[in-house]
Structure 1
Amino acid sequence: MEFIEDDDGVAMQTPLRAILPRSTHNEDHEYHYHVNNFESHDESGFTASLVINVKAEDDAKKWMSEFAESSSTTWRVMRTCPTAKKYVLFKKIYRCHHGQQRRAKEGTSRHSKDTGCCAKLTLTVRRTVTQSGRKSKNSDPHIQTHPTLVKLEWKHNHVISIPAALKYRDASPETCAKLEELFKNGNSPASALNILELELQIQDPDKYVMNCADRSICPDLHFCYR
């Protein structure tokens, strides 16, 4: 992972470095970042604006998936914005899944997952050339090499890396693929889950308890029966 930044900003951006993905899963693309703005809010988190060397909608969605994994967070689409094809190829606003999108009805209690979290991320893929083939006139000097813009409001009101939070994460595509393969080999949902848990214990005994609590890599039995 490479940052294009001023030396004065490195220390302030350490929390940001810790949560950004370095490359794609198969390592065929290394992510490069330029941080436009970073503002710390002490214990409440930080806000940041940065650009990435990602040029297509599918690649931006892949980055979003990898960001969720590298930051141990789960995001839901809050809004899909209409795109002005002349300037923008793709734009979506995401919210932390611990934030409730709709207000609860009177007399009903909140789900334990809903903490009212207001963390938000806006992902925009900008055009580098116009439809006529000319270079974009956008004033951002990095748009040709780093056309994807991320605006991040990292203001989680809950602890992220604890079992109580990790148990609500979505099962990852890799985990689903493992389960499907185990089912094809004749395993029941219960035995397939036992195999996943055993693999986690063998791979990293020290992190076994935490990994078993992370639903993205070790889903619950109810999910296995779906």
Structure 2
Amino acid sequence: METLSKYNTVRLPLHSESEFVKWLEEFNELSYTTWRVKRTYPPPSDRQFVKVLLKKEYRCQHDTRPESALTNSKRRVATKNTSCKADMAVTIRNVKTKSKSADILLEKFPTTLRIRFSHNHRIMCADALKYRDVSKETIHTLCELFKRRPTAAVEMVKQELLLKHGENYPVIAANRALCPDIPFAHRLYTKMFKELYGDTSDVKMMSVLESHCQQYNEEMESTCMVLKIVNNKPIIAVCTPLMKRTHETIKHAGEMVFMDASSNMDRNNCSVLYF
């Protein structure tokens, strides 16, 4: 490590952008900091003969670079901004190209990192930790708990952290990477819902319902689900293979009808009727 004024220069054994992204994630986790891209230098189109594969500059997330001290006369800049001067610059050189450089570290350590780790704010405090990105492990835990509502999933995560860390829970709960906020859980839930079930708009929802009906009938190898439009409202009738077999083998099944109705099942005010 070579000290240059307020910067430190570090050589890393990283040969690609994906390796650096993984390293940065680990660095964020160990240092309890979060870095955002400040400037990107686009590489040439032909990477086979270029000398530099990646060149980027990063800033601390507490430097939001506001245009002015006040966004308007009534609303002040978010307290997240401290105009932090901590920054870093990364350069990954291509070791496959012929070079006359006298750099003896180039072959094994092609990545050069210049970092100024001089934050003007406390790192291990609730006011800074609450702005960290939610970790991948926490996102995975939330997804597993989304069988419940998003708010309930967050409460379950808090309960697990409380049982695991005990007296240290107040410090852990302030770290957003481990204890996400409810708005984040709702955004993640909405994203997962769209990926699994499609958009809830009228046109897109109908196409998704039709595809689900077709897929279910193919899996059951029989017509068990039918979609029809009645009075401009979609109606889905489902008769599972067990229900069909019951109607075929038990004659009294067609003589008695039991009905259970419920409404307002979701945001679209759908109703479910059991016969």
Same fold (TM > 0.5): yes
Equivalence for 1:193: 154
Structure 1 stretches lacking a partner, 5+ long: 1-34, 41-45
Query: Which amino acid counterpart does residue 3 of structure 2 have in structure 1?
Result: F
Distance of 1:173 and 1:102 partners within structure 2: 29
The answer on whether the counterparts of 1:127 and 1:147 sit within 8 Å (CA) in structure 2 is: yes
Tell me the CA shift for residue 39 of structure 1. Answer: 5.7
Equivalence for 1:38: 3
Deviation per residue, 1:148-205 (Å, 9 max, x gap) = 111101121100110111001111222112111111xx12112211221122222222
Equivalence for 1:59: 19
The answer on whether the counterparts of 2:89 and 2:113 sit within 8 Å (CA) in structure 1 is: yes
- 1:98 is the counterpart of 2:62: yes
Distance of 1:171 and 1:138 partners within structure 2: 41
Q: 1:137 to 1:204 in 2, by over 3 A?
A: farther
- 1:217 is the counterpart of 2:178: yes
Distance of 2:116 and 2:43 partners within structure 1: 22
Equivalence for 2:110: 147
Equivalence for 1:172: 135
Equivalence for 2:87: 120
Equivalence for 1:49: 9
Give the TM-score normalised by the residue count of structure 2.
0.61
The answer on whether the counterparts of 2:34 and 2:61 sit within 8 Å (CA) in structure 1 is: yes
Q: Secondary structure at the match of 2:26?
A: helix
Tell me the CA shift for residue 206 of structure 1. Answer: 3.7
The answer on whether the counterparts of 1:78 and 1:101 sit within 8 Å (CA) in structure 2 is: no
Give RMSD over aligned pairs. Answer: 1.8
Distance of 1:210 and 1:73 partners within structure 2: 15
Distance of 1:49 and 1:126 partners within structure 2: 15
Q: Secondary structure at the match of 1:204?
A: helix
Q: Secondary structure at the match of 1:225?
A: helix
Between the aligned residues of both structures, percent identity stands at: 36
1:129 to 79, 96, 99: 96
The answer on whether the counterparts of 2:38 and 2:57 sit within 8 Å (CA) in structure 1 is: yes
Distance of 2:67 and 2:102 partners within structure 1: 40
Query: Which amino acid counterpart does residue 123 of structure 1 have in structure 2?
Result: V
Query: Which amino acid counterpart does residue 99 of structure 1 have in structure 2?
Result: D
Structure 2 stretches lacking a partner, 5+ long: 188-275
1:161 to 114, 124, 142: 124
Q: Secondary structure at the match of 1:93?
A: strand
Give the TM-score normalised by the residue count of structure 1.
0.74
Bigger Rg over Cα = 2
Equivalence for 1:70: 30
Q: Larger helix proportion, structure 1 or 2?
A: 2
The answer on whether the counterparts of 1:99 and 1:115 sit within 8 Å (CA) in structure 2 is: yes
The answer on whether the counterparts of 1:38 and 1:48 sit within 8 Å (CA) in structure 2 is: yes
Select the structure with the greater relative contact order (CA < 8 A; seq sep ≥ 6). 1
The answer on whether the counterparts of 2:66 and 2:77 sit within 8 Å (CA) in structure 1 is: no
Deviation per residue, 1:52-74 (Å, 9 max, x gap) = 11111111111111111111011
Distance of 1:101 and 1:39 partners within structure 2: 25
Tell me the CA shift for residue 106 of structure 1. Answer: 6.2
Equivalence for 1:32: none
